[in-house]
Structure 1
């Protein structure tokens, strides 16, 4: 009788442990599914609503992603669950990239011009040229002058005024860079670019102004 009681007790214990394991695995599977559903639901929210709550959405995503990743340890055969998580991660990152592009306002005409002259994001309203040094200043002048040359027929008088402002600021930076190890060869190349720019600016700005005056009279 005693042996039967012990055997029954062991059986109940095993069943209890199995039940706990099953429940733990079910919870883990549910956690993964909740993560997948969350990603799909975010993609269906209006952009305007996401714009106002994006930080909260990202925080919730990070929490659910971490929980889903941790839940894999409680799933015996987790290959399918791992695939689901990875697919949802890719979906989310692609969606985030598209959304970010929509949320960031397009640069205005002046910033577009600066981006073309110096490279995207290099020059803002602060006109900070600290990124220009003895090693890259020749390439900066080169991009500036060649960009102006390629687009000289498209610029308005206001564009030319902005170009002159940027050019003079770059020249001012050059005075500093010359004391910081600017090579004689790069200095000569920059001098050649400056010789090309000066008449191009004078002639084309004058032409843009004349064209605007003509249009104003008409």
Structure 2
């Protein structure tokens, strides 16, 4: 009997230990799960905020970068690719976290996207124009393709290079954008630099003909760039001018009506005054 009792007591202790252990494990697992959920929520919030801030700061930086000019040392095709890749990466991060943003934040993000893409289309077109330089140089400067300098231009052929350059500009100037003119003008400067380097070896006739080519080029550039600028300005203010003209027209119409009425009244008054003066003169004649 004693041995049975001890056995039963041992079994009870083991069972109690199992129950306690199970309860402890259950509580520990619950705390661990709650902690995991809390940490996951914090991580999601941090990730969504980071995606938003990265995008906003990048947009702000690009919008401040407004002074861009042609540089022959830059790969403009690569510039386009790098810019679009950077934008797409940031948009992908935003899209991944879109469900964690409220309506106001989503609206702000869409507004930034629209604003950026509108300006990027203009800049992308400019970069594309800059990217044409490599293909234009041998055509305009009559040098070998991918030549790193203009040493192929000598006292014997540089006059012909000037004349060819001016002919190409004459042929294409109507299609040039302001960005195209930056590329063309940079090539022209390179041509001038090469000419200056061999100036002493040129004949008087060559110098004279090059001078004529330079005058013609400058005239074409001034006329075309002025036209491009005027066209751009005209496009930007067209609606404003139209609206302003309509308002001015209405105001002028109203003012004209008022002036007309005033003039009519003034005319009537003058007519009456003149008639009175005429009657007075006639009366004076009768008294005589």
Q: Name the TM-score, length of structure 1 as normaliser.
A: 0.45
**Of Structure 1 and Structure 2, which has the larger fraction of its residues in helix?**
2
Give the number of the structure whose alpha-carbon radius of gyration is greater: 2
**Structure ranking higher on relative contact order (CA contacts 8 Å, 6+ apart):** 1
